[in-house]
Amino acid sequence: DTAVSQTPKYLVTQMGNDKSIKCEQNLGHDTMYWYKQDSKKFLKIMFSYNNKELIINETVPNRFSPKSPDKAHLNLHINSLELGDSAVYFCASSAQGRPQHFGDGTRLSIL
Partner 1 sequence: QKEVEQNSGPLSVPEGAIASLNCTYSDRGSQSFFWYRQYSGKSPELIMFIYSNGDKEDGRFTAQLNKASQYVSLLIRDSQPSDSATYLCAVSESGGTSYGKLTFGQGTILTVHP
Minimum distance between the CB of residue 10 and partner 1, rounded to whole angstroms?
11
The residue type found at 68 is: S
Instruction: Judge contact between 11 and 85, C-beta under 8 A.
Output: no
Q: Which of residues 1 and 14 has its CB atom nearest to partner 1 in the complex?
A: 1
If the CB atoms of residues 42 and 79 are measured against partner 1, the closer one turns out to be 42
CA distance 41 to 19: 22
Least distance between partner 1 and beta carbon 18 (Å):
25
Cβ distance to partner 1 smaller for residue 19 or 101:
101
The minimum distance between CB 75 and partner 1, in angstroms, equals 18
Q: Which residues contact 110 (CB under 8 A, 6 or more apart)?
A: 13, 14, 15, 81, 82, 83, 85, 86
The contact set with partner 1 (CB under 8 A) reads 31, 40-45, 48, 50, 55-56, 90, 94, 96-105
Candidates 2, 102, 3; CA nearest to 43 is 102
The residue (of 33 and 85) whose beta carbon lies closer to partner 1 is 33
